[in-house]
């Protein structure tokens, strides 16, 4: 995978030099084998970087989703993206991807928080790019969502946490201590 990424970066850089256009390397999807990736999911749900651990309901739902992926998606390779104290406008990946699962836990705070996903290569610039908003309204509570066929994103993945629904165009982002912790599972 590294060799392919290096070759692709070289080719795109050479094309940029020949055309005179600027070249900015993109964040690349780095999937892992199912066994490794699902071990990481189990670690997070059992109290790893996510925090205090997921409820038994969330753990059972992720086990069921893992089983479904292994049977129906033939053990698809996915990438786990961690989130910690998420605030605004984080762009972990560019290009066409799919979001398969989301887990978020609200920190112990009374501030309402909305976890949002935008289909954009860089920012949360417009509400039209919003693809998902999950409310986190109670202190320390969790929320999770699954997309068995993947939530399609064409331009890239931008995530953020806001104090109002949608969260683009001037809506206030959460501040440190109010944003959720969690992870996303993404792939092609």
pLDDT of residue 89: 65
32 vs 56, which has greater pLDDT? 56
Place of tokens 């982002």: 173
Q: Which residues contact 30 (CB under 8 A, 6 or more apart)?
A: 1, 79
Neighbours of 3 (CB within 10 A): 7
- Indicate the pLDDT class of residue 154, thresholds 50, 70 and 90: very high
pLDDT of 36 over the 90 cut? no
What percentage of the chain carries pLDDT values higher than 70? 78
> In this predicted structure, which of 19-23, 97-101, 163-167, 177-181 has the lowest mean pLDDT?
19-23
pLDDT of 90 over the 80 cut? no
- Indicate the pLDDT class of residue 24, thresholds 50, 70 and 90: very low
Helix (H, G, I), strand (E, B) or coil at 41: helix
pLDDT of residue 60: 95
Place of tokens 């993206």: 81
* Widest distance between CA atoms in the chain: 56
pLDDT of 28 over the 70 cut? no
Q: What is the CA radius of gyration of the chain?
A: 17
pLDDT of residue 151: 95
Q: What is the mean pLDDT of the chain?
A: 79
Token representation of residue 50: 């996510």
185 vs 176, which has greater pLDDT? 185
Domain residue limits, the chain? 1-29, 31-187
pLDDT of residue 23: 37
Helix/strand number for the chain, H first, E second: 3, 8
State mean pLDDT over 88-101: 83
pLDDT of residue 127: 76
Q: Cβ distance 182 to 134 under 8 Å?
A: no
pTM for the whole thing?
0.79
- What span, in angstroms and rounded, lies between the C-alpha atoms of 124 and 116? 9
Q: Cβ distance 158 to 117 under 8 Å?
A: yes
Residue 187: closest CA among 32, 63, 41, 9: 32
Per residue in 73-88, pLDDT (tens digit) is 887 889 998 888 877 7
Helix (H, G, I), strand (E, B) or coil at 108: coil
């Amino acid at each position: 995978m590294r060799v392919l990424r290096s070759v692709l970066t070289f080719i795109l850089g050479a094309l940029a030099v020949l055309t005179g256009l600027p070249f900015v390397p993109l964040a690349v999807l780095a999937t892992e084998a199912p066994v490794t990736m699902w071990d990481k999911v189990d670690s997070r749900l059992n109290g790893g970087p996510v925090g205090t651990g997921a409820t038994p309901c969330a753990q059972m739902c992720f086990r069921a989703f893992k089983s479904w992926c292994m049977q129906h998606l033939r053990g698809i390779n996915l990438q786990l993206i961690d989130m910690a104290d998420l605030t605004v406008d984080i762009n972990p990946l560019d290009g066409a991807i799919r979001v398969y699962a989301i887990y978020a836990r609200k920190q112990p705070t009374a501030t309402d928080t909305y976890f949002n996903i935008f289909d954009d290569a860089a920012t949360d610039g417009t509400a039209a790019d919003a693809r998902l908003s999950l409310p986190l309204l109670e202190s320390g509570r969790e929320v999770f969502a699954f997309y068995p066929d993947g939530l399609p994103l064409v331009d890239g993945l931008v995530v953020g946490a806001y104090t109002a629904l949608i969260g683009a165009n001037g809506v206030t982002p959460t501040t440190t201590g109010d944003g959720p912790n969690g992870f996303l599972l993404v792939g092609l």
